[in-house]
Structure 1
Amino acid sequence: MSRAGAGGLIRDSLGDILATFAAPLQQVDVIMVELNALLMGVELCLKFGFNWVWIEVDSLFPVQIIRDDVTGNAHNFYLIRKIKNFLNLMNFDISHIFWEGNICVDWLANKGSFLVGYEELDILNLEQSFKGMLLLDKASMPHIRYG
């Protein structure tokens, strides 16, 4: 079984970071990983009382599941139902963002793949390289990716 991770961040309307998370996942399939990451992000929003949210995901399928009421397959049924139940408690919009525009979340997911369990990162003590990516992202600057 290969390593997989989930990651996400919550920003305010000015682009400032309010919360971040990273977590390891057992990779069943890519859709299950994406759905679990979406669930963790929605749960974090609810935990902090963020009820008006714009969700961006770099996989189109979760957007279709939520926006177009696609049911997915039987393996994902309960996970999708749980996400939709939580989203019913919020005012939200969901949209697709290309991977290149979601580099900070990709960094968090990669970090999550090496963690032992779910972790909310201390936004006051983030790694310098990640802080730099966040600043570039906020300024809508292009990113350089190595490796």
Structure 2
Amino acid sequence: MKNQGCEGDRSDGVSVLDLTLHFQNTNDIWKLCDRAWSPQCKITIKAVIINILSAIWSARNNARFNNKVTHWKSSITWIISSTSLAGNKSNCVASSSITDFLILKRLNVTIHPPKAPIIKEIWWQPPMDHWVKCNTDGASNKTTSSCGGVFKNHNTEFLRGFAENTGLMSAFKAELCGAMRAIEIAHSKNWMNLWLESDSILVVKAFSSSVLVPWALNNRWRNCRKLSSSMNFVVSHVYREGNQCVDGLANIGVTP
């Protein structure tokens, strides 16, 4: 970092910001932080400014009160060391900008790259032999709601599907209706090994905590739980990306 009066210092190739700066007052100094730096670069530059002012103040007091002259190289070493500590301790992240890269490296700051997105592999898993799997979903708008489901066997063969308007103005209630309808259909078809899968975590939790079920659906829910207790029954959660087919069926019921 240099100002207009330090052009001669360019011969050593060291210029942290690679800018010619004009400072008329302290406000001009802080305006430097308003540039489009990355968060980590910005906080590092703030640390540079604070440490420069602190080094000047310290050198001035040593000269005035202790009659000691601080060598400029010693001050620069202290400034870079203190700035490096601040930049490395920060939780802020840098950008992929080459300018940010050069500034942080010249100040001995370890670059904190942006957090990479978490990638999860999602796929539909078929049931075991002699089992039937049903994926269910629900959808709602301002006036109505619906549910849908698809039954498949261990060979991923389509057995049956359903899409029903529930008339309820709640997505969660529609999701529960889809789960209950799946149990009712499976029991009527004598599919006694049933794997139910939903993209609603609340629906999955409702099977272990009935207090989550709205009172309006409580009687039907108890009947379905009685049916499922006579079956080999499991329930699991799947991400929406693995439930897209049923999501389309559920949306049919709310489409004008």
TM-score when normalising by structure 1 = 0.70
Looking at structure 2, the residues matched to 28 and 39 of structure 1 have their Cα atoms a distance apart, in angstroms, of: 17
Shift of 1:114: 4.1
Equivalent residue for 2:189? 48
2:106 corresponds to = none
Q: Does 1:71 align with 2:211?
A: yes
Runs of 4+ in 1 over 6 A off after TM superposition: none
- Is residue 10 from structure 1 mapped to residue 164 from structure 2 by the alignment? no
- For the pair 1:61 / 2:210, whether they are aligned, the reply is no
Quick check: 1:10–1:19 contact (8 Å CA) kept in 2? yes
The alignment status of 1:83 with 2:224, answered yes or no, reads yes
Tell me whether 1:112 sits opposite 2:248 in the alignment.
Answer: no
What 5-or-longer segments of structure 2 have no aligned partner?
1-141
Instruction: Tell me which moved more, 104-113 or 92-101.
Output: 104-113
- State the distance in 2 between where 1:28 and 1:44 align: 23
1:48 CA displacement? 1.4
- Would you say how many aligned residue pairs link Structure 1 and Structure 2? 114
The answer for the alignment partner of 1:135 in structure 2 is none
Structure 1 residue 45: Cα displacement? 0.9
- Could you list the runs of 5+ residues in structure 1 that have no partner in the other structure? 116-147
The 1-side partners of 2:232 and 2:209 are apart by: 16
Instruction: Report if the CA contact (8 A) 1:3-1:113 is conserved.
Output: yes
Offset of residue 59 of structure 1? 0.4
Cα 1:60–1:14 change in 2 (3 A) is same
Question: Greater share of strand residues, 1 or 2?
Answer: 1
Q: Tell whether the 8 Å contact from 1:36 to 1:79 is kept in structure 2 after alignment.
A: no
- Considering Cα pairs closer than 8 Å and 6+ residues apart, tell me whether 1 or 2 has the greater RCO: 1
What value does the CA root-mean-square deviation take over the aligned residues? 1.8
Cα offset for 1:89?
2.2
User: What letter matches 1:82 in structure 2?
Assistant: N
User: Could you tell me how far 1:76 is from its partner in structure 2?
Assistant: 3.5
Larger Rg: 2
Distance in 2 (alpha carbons) for counterparts of 1:30 and 1:52: 27
Cα deviation, 1:21-55, whole Å, max 9, x if unaligned, reads: 11112123222111111111111111211110111
Larger mean CA deviation between 13-22 and 71-80 belongs to: 71-80
- Distance in 2 between residues matched to 1:87 and 1:24, nearest whole Å: 23
**Structure whose residues are more often helix by fraction:** 2
Q: Is the 8 A contact 1:57 1:95 kept in 2?
A: yes
Among all aligned residue pairs of Structure 1 and Structure 2, give the percentage whose two residues are the same amino acid: 25
